[in-house]
Structure 1
Amino acid sequence: MLLTLNTADSRPLHEQVAGAVRRAIAEGECRPGERLPSARELAQALDVNTNTVLRGLRALRDEGLLEFRRGRGVTVAAGAAEQSAVLDRVRELVRDAARLGYSRSDLIEMIRGLS
């Protein structure tokens, strides 16, 4: 699992850690039941404090994306697969839009117009 943080991002580091793991799950890089590297290993790879990583992982546990099990470490929860379905739907939307003559930038503008 290759995670990176954006040093220019103004969000707190623990939120960036949670976002990076959330994205890895959504993109299928981490599948349900898979064990994540230890918080210490993630902290070293990301060059942040272990407590920062733990705070981000706890937030994902509270969202139901991760499970903490004594002796087994942190694993991706079974329900996390549903999030990867969003990415599948986005890919389908991009394909359908292209078939209808819309570009990706057209889609982005449509989405921005929804908020």
Structure 2
Amino acid sequence: MLLRLDATDGRPLHEQVAGAIRRAIAEGECAPGDRLPPARDLSRALGVNANTVLRGLRTLRDEGVLEFRRGRGVTVAAAADQRSHLLERARQLLADAAHLGYSRNDLIEMIRGLS
């Protein structure tokens, strides 16, 4: 798995780490059930602190994209590719709404009105 961070990106590093892993999953570099390299190895490859990588991994675990299993390490969750893609689209929608002056709650109300 080849991950890269963008030095010009203004987002916090842990968000960039999570985004890079999401992209790797969405592009098929990592499939459901695949095991990720240890956080220490990822941190060396990316040139960031191991705690930064762990924070990004925990974010993805909380989103249901990754699974942490004792003795087995971190693996890509089943259907993570679909979930990762949907979460990325939701983030983009939220950013677009904010750009147009809508709050998160305004967006939620718009979505509720669709059903």
**TM exceeding 0.5:** yes
What CA distance in whole angstroms lies between the structure 1 residues aligned with 2:39 and 2:26?
20
In angstroms, what is the RMSD of aligned CA positions? Answer: 1.7
What CA distance in whole angstroms lies between the structure 1 residues aligned with 2:85 and 2:14?
25
What CA distance in whole angstroms lies between the structure 2 residues aligned with 1:47 and 1:53?
10
Amino acid of the structure 2 residue aligned with 1:15:
E
The number of residues matched between the two structures is 88
Q: CA deviation at 1:81?
A: 3.2
Look up the match of 1:45.
45
Normalization by structure 2: what TM-score?
A: 0.72
Q: Which 4+ runs in 1 deviate beyond 4 A? A: 83-86
What CA distance in whole angstroms lies between the structure 1 residues aligned with 2:84 and 2:15?
20
Look up the match of 1:102.
none
Secondary structure of 1:51's aligned partner: helix
Quote the sequence identity (%). Answer: 73
- Structure 2 residue runs without a partner (length 5+): 87-95, 101-115
Pairs within 5 Å for 1:33-112: 33-83=33-83
Secondary structure of 1:30's aligned partner: coil
- Structure 1 residue runs without a partner (length 5+): 87-111
Look up the match of 1:4.
4
What CA distance in whole angstroms lies between the structure 1 residues aligned with 2:75 and 2:48?
21
Look up the match of 2:91.
none
Normalization by structure 1: what TM-score?
A: 0.72
Q: CA deviation at 1:83?
A: 4.2
